[in-house]
């Protein structure tokens, strides 16, 4: 049950729909539209040229996106997304970590549970270092 339209497509797995030249699709239930897409994993939807998608249940729209991890939604060009359950909208975003929501251009979000809505933000949810001499106190 594979539907392939366009030259130079490589399709492996059942229930794939591939439209456009130079697509590589591996895994069941993938929908790929646009040239130069690489899709690996089940249940991926990829629209736009030059996308690399690895992991199940990813939705990617826009050129030049790299998506790794399950359950990611990526819209906009030049996004790099790694980790599960990320929503990224806007160009030039780098998102690493689970449960991140990023809207706007040129954002870098590292760590879980980050929400970014303004452009040109660098956000890391790693805990800050402890101040010098901040040992635990014991009362006796």
What is the tens place of the pLDDT at every residue in 105-124?
A: 555 666 555 565 554 445 55
Q: Which of 15, 45, 61 delimits the end of a domain?
A: 61
Give the residue, 90 or 60, on which the prediction is more confident: 60
Give the residue, 39 or 109, on which the prediction is more confident: 39
One domain for residues 5 and 54: yes
Residue 136 lies in a domain: no
Question: How far, in Å, CA of 95 to CA of 14, rounded?
Answer: 31
What is the tens place of the pLDDT at every residue in 1-18?
A: 566 665 655 666 666 676
DSSP letters for 39-75: EESSS-EEESSS-EEESSS-EEESSS-EEESSS-EEE
Residue 138 lies in a domain: no
Residue 90 lies in a domain: yes
Residue 137 lies in a domain: no
How many independent structural domains does the chain possess? 2
Q: Which residues pair with 4 in a beta bridge?
A: 18
State mean pLDDT over 33-58. Answer: 65
Spatial neighbors of 129 by CB under 8 A, at least 6 apart, are: none
One domain for residues 69 and 41: no
CA dist list (Å): 136 to 126, 128, 129: 21, 17, 15
User: Residue 1 CB: number of other CB atoms within 10 A?
Assistant: 8
Q: Which of 13, 28, 61 delimits the end of a domain?
A: 61
For the entire predicted model, the pTM comes to 0.47
Contact 37, 51 (CB under 8 A): yes
CA dist list (Å): 18 to 31, 47, 134: 6, 10, 59
Residue 140 lies in a domain: no
Residues of the domain holding 29: 1-61
pLDDT of residue 127: 46
One domain for residues 42 and 79: no
One domain for residues 16 and 57: yes
pLDDT of residue 105: 57
φ/ψ (deg, to 5) at 53: -130, 125
pLDDT of residue 128: 46
């Amino acid at each position: 049950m594979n539907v392939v339209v366009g030259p130079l497509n490589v399709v492996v797995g059942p229930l794939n729909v591939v439209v456009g030249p130079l697509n590589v699709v591996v895994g069941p239930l993938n929908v790929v539209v646009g040239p130069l897409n690489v899709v690996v994993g089940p249940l991926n939807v990829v629209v736009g040229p030059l996308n690399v998608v690895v992991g199940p249940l990813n939705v990617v729209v826009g050129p030049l996106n790299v998506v790794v991890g399950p359950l990611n939604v990526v819209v906009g060009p030049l996004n790099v997304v790694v980790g599960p359950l990320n929503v990224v909208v806007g160009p030039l975003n780098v998102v690493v970590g689970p449960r991140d929501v990023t809207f706007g251009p040129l954002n870098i979000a590292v760590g879980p549970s980050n929400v970014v809505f303004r452009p040109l933000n660098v956000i890391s949810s790693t805990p800050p270092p402890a101040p010098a001499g901040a040992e635990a106190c014991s009362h006796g």
